[in-house]
Amino acid sequence: MKIGLTYDLRNDYLAEGFGEEETAEFDRPDTIAAIEEALGQIGHQTERIGHARRLVEKLGAGRRWELVFNICEGLYGFGREALVPALLEAYRIPYTFSDPLVLALTLHKPMTKRVVRDLGILTPDFAVVDNEAGISRVDLPFPLFAKPVAEGTGKGVDAASKITNRQQLRRVCLRLLQRYQQPVLVETYLPGREFTVAIVGTGPAAEAVGVIEVVLRPGAEASAYSYVNKEKCEELVLYQLADDQAAEQCRLLALSAWRGLGCRDAGRLDIRLDASGRAHFLEVNPLAGLHPLHSDLPIICSKVGISYRQLIDRIVKSAVSRVKQP
């Protein structure tokens, strides 16, 4: 099969003058090379397309593919992850991973939490701060946790994200509002263990292939799986395969949220326990990182015996199964 590859290469944006944190969600050259190599080993032909603007150019020039392996994160707006899938749907070109509706919804954490809550899934109580005036309207017991509503890779999350008083709430919210130019999610802080669940597949065929507990090492930023901790995960984070009662809770919750939200092909969900040991949905990443050694989804798969090539193959097969449906 002829497969096009859409992606945001971090080096391209750095060369245009964007900063390290602005490009944190974008991919390194070895990620693209690893995906391309895996697809080639499976027997597919690949063509590198690049980011959304390159896709527009190639579509305008008449280029077409049997499938597009899409990992574009985009740069601007709440619909940034939905842009490439929407373009591909306009040209009726099949692609991997979730559709524009799911990607736009799940990028916005509070909107996702509202849907998840409606599905009957536990998620921490929360408020959304749109501006300075909204800070005083937050009516939740401390401690709290604050982060931008639509960022990934831990952007905007650090040791100060855990908030214990009104003064700190104001200070953190003002900083996040100014820096990220978007609302702030403020939610009840959960003191229990933190897990990440890897999902492969779509709908009834979706499988929670593994659960890892995220354990912060000495020297890591405290109380949060933060931007710094994620960027330096090899030094600061211990990923422990979990297979106890708490992990089973997380597995069931993750599958319910994945299917209820309509996510497809592969991704991961972040879950944390409250003081009573109950699992709560934190967020979902339906466009998870795919660096073979650095990203959570491949890390979990490798720990349960799923090779990188097998992961990529299962993603493609899941996407192709939709094409074959009437």
Burial class (CB in 10 A: 0-12, 13-18, 19+), 13: middle
Q: CA 34, 105, 290: angle at the middle one, nearest 5?
A: 10
Arithmetic mean of pLDDT, 310-319 = 98
The per-residue pLDDT for 220 is 81
pLDDT in tens, 195-245: 999 999 999 999 999 999 988 888 887 777 777 777 777 788 888 999 999
CB hemisphere CA count around 48 (13 angstroms)? 12
The per-residue pLDDT for 310 is 98
Residue 36's contacts (CB-CB under 8 Å, 6 or more residues apart) are 5, 46, 48
Please, where in the chain does CATH 3.30.470.20 lie? 191-323
- Model confidence at 325: pLDDT above 80: no
Please, where in the chain does CATH 3.30.1490.20 lie? 125-188
pLDDT in tens, 106-146: 999 999 999 999 999 999 999 999 999 999 999 999 999 99
Structure tokens at 282: 């934190």
pLDDT in tens, 137-178: 999 999 999 999 999 878 888 888 999 999 999 999 999 999
d(C-alpha 67, C-alpha 88), whole Å: 10
Helix 83-90 vs helix 52-60: crossing angle, to nearest 10: 10
Task: Check: CB of residue 164 under 8 Å from CB of residue 140.
Answer: no
Q: How would residue 181 be classed by pLDDT, with cut points 50, 70 and 90?
A: very high
Q: How would residue 326 be classed by pLDDT, with cut points 50, 70 and 90?
A: very low
pLDDT > 90: percent of the chain:
84
The per-residue pLDDT for 98 is 98
Average pLDDT, the chain: 94
| Of the options 3.30.1490.20, 3.40.50.12160, 3.90.79.10, 3.40.50.300, the CATH number for the domain spanning 125-188 | 3.30.1490.20
pLDDT in tens, 31-75: 999 999 999 999 999 999 999 999 999 999 999 999 999 999 999
Task: Check: CB of residue 120 under 8 Å from CB of residue 114.
Answer: no
Q: Is the pTM of this model over 0.75?
A: yes
Arithmetic mean of pLDDT, 166-193 = 96
- Evaluated on CA atoms 24, 25, 28, 30, the torsion sign reads positive
| The length of the chain, given as a count of residues | 326
- Evaluated on CA atoms 309, 324, 207, 89, the torsion sign reads positive
What fold is seen in the domain 2-105?
A: Rossmann fold (3.40.50)
Q: 191-323: CATH homologous superfamily?
A: ATP-grasp fold, B domain (3.30.470.20)
Arithmetic mean of pLDDT, 93-104 = 98
Nearest Cα neighbor of 145 from 130, 159, 131 is: 159
Q: How would residue 292 be classed by pLDDT, with cut points 50, 70 and 90?
A: very high
d(C-alpha 219, C-alpha 101), whole Å: 39
